[in-house]
Amino acid sequence: MAKIERHRGVRIVTLDENESIADYCVEDDIAIVHDANGWWTCFVGENGAVEKYDIAFDSWLKALHVAKAAAEFAME
């Protein structure tokens, strides 16, 4: 089940491997998604468009820290 938390007003959604960003996220959310390559920090934009970094992180905690840093930046 997706875990949702807020940081500086931005929703950060950690998804299980069988869950879809489209099912749990809305515009301006940050999704953390795990696959065989690692943990991805994904940014949800207009009309469900998703952008992510070119490389996955090796741990959920690193992906979460990056998501929280991005949320800080979004608040400026």
Q: pLDDT, tens digit, for every residue of 37-74?
A: 999 999 999 999 999 999 999 999 999 999 999 998 86
CA 16, chain centre distance (Å):
12
Looking at the chain, the whole-number percentage of residues with pLDDT higher than 70 is 96
Largest separation between any pair of C-alpha atoms in the chain: 34
Record the pTM. 0.92
Instruction: Please give the pLDDT value at position 17.
Output: 85
Long-range Cβ contacts of 36-39 (<8 Å, 24+ apart): 39/63
